[in-house]
Structure 1
Amino acid sequence: MTGARRAALDDDIVEVSTAEHAIAPRRGSGRVAGPSLRLVLAPLAVATVTALVGGLMTLPADGETVDRTDPVRVAAFSGPLGTSRSLPRTALESSSPSPSPLPAAAEAAQKSSASTESSATTEKPKEKKTKEKAPDYDELADTARTLYAETAVNVRTGPGTDYDSVGTLGAGEDVKSTEWKVDGWRQVKFDGESGWIKASYLTADEPTESGFSTATCSKANGLEANLTTAADGVLRAVCARFPAVTSFGGYRAGDSGYHGSGQAIDAMISGSAGWELAEWARDNAGELGIVEVIYQQKIWTTQRAADGWRSMSDRGSTSANHYDHVHISIGS
């Protein structure tokens, strides 16, 4: 027992004499306070170290401001800071709202309108005018039907009186027409070639026999091309009825009378045969359109038909006094 107390005294002396050291806690209390203190200080130390390390890692370099909000770092860092949710914000510049997407149909219409406006402002290249090709009247169209001439009529190379005459179709003569019509003219097949006749002179009705021939006269020598239709009909009728006529005349360019207009023919015949022709022309004047007959210095006209043959003054020559031919004038 004595030895134990001494040992305890010795321990107390050592504690008192050691001035440099802090007084050690009692053994009984140290057992309780030591672990409790460690439990309190340990988390505080860890939190402090963590905060310091985190602050050091996020400090801005060269005076730059913090670009993220963090209350911990704001508290730990006194330098220039970034914008915080809790701090006033700088007003942002207003920007025009982005257009809402258009529906597909509206977008297509907008593009089409822009394209149209662009093309309208673009200068269009000048279009070259192509000269229309003149129709080839020599070409024959498909045959349509058979027509008949109501009276003697000229056949021309084109649809108009400005075109040359290639012959004459006699009254009552038939001709094959084609399907082509131009300005009141009809294309016909004449002597196997293309020809044009005024449609008003043609009919689909077959004519009755008139008693006058409409056959082409071989003695006319191209005279028919310069005669009116009615005058050509008289020429053909006379040519067929009086074979004694040796030749025909009639058209004289520049003449102020019937000869100049193609409304007169001269049948070269004399003697009694001439009177026979003159009387025949007078008797058929109404049907043939004859208005005047002159032979052997005698004249007969429809205007003075009741006076019969009347004498004419001497004109100085056989031909001028109509002794070698019968003159016949035809109305228009």
Structure 2
Amino acid sequence: MATHRHKRETARRTPRAALIAAPLAVLATGAAVSAGVAGSAPAPDLLSADLSVAAAGTGDRDRDRPLGVVSRESGASRGESAEKAPAMVLSPVEKLLTPKAVSTAVKQADKRLWTTTTLNLWTRPDAKAKKIGEIESAEKVLVTGRTMKGREEIVLDGEARWVTAGYLSAEKPFALGGECTNGTSVPAAVSPNIKKVHEAVCAAFPEITVYGTFRSDGEHSQGIAVDIMVSGDRGWQVAEFVREHYADLGVSYLIYSQQIWSVERSSEGWRGMEDRGSATANHYDHVHVTTY
């Protein structure tokens, strides 16, 4: 029987190469794990880019929304617009008086007309107007052509002013020849035309100082007649002066030196009258004027 020799079991030595490789493997595994962890989280730059893209996408969706949908971003601005007061609606007068409209009218005015009487000057055409002065008769003024509420717009010293419509004319009106400076007057209750006759004759013939108006009979009692106390050739000068300007003075007829002239029979000229007796009755010492 063979005797088995038993070899003593001795611990097997690990090769040196394996001892070196193991730590390296552990290091490699750790590196791989670290790389995996790092790879699972986005880099800061990529994260920022992704957020920017997301924000841009949100903006695109807002632009695609219907106008009736209010977004959080536009709600504040739209609320502010809603709080603004609506535009003021201007009346026709206010539109006419805007600085731009007035400036344009003044710059484009190129027509001139004569005033036919003394006119009040107003700042505007309506009831809010303020009177700021007057303009005399027979003045040539620049007009804009704009009218409203019974007034016309004129230009004085570069400023827009308003006057009563109907008293501007393309033709120069008859001028009374200036003011009456001799101190004479007629009663306030006589007709406007009698006042015109007195002013015109007084200015043209200042030496005449007696004017007979009111008395109890006929047209004198109505305040539409005046006796201008003058005689001789001077009387004829006065009579012809009044006849020449009868339309401007509102004259119906006049008598002098037993002669009569009337608007109704003006084509006949001066016509003779019957003898009434005295020089005064036959109008030798005064010119009688009856007005409308």
Question: TM-score normalized by structure 1?
Answer: 0.37
Larger Rg: 1
Question: TM-score normalized by structure 2?
Answer: 0.42
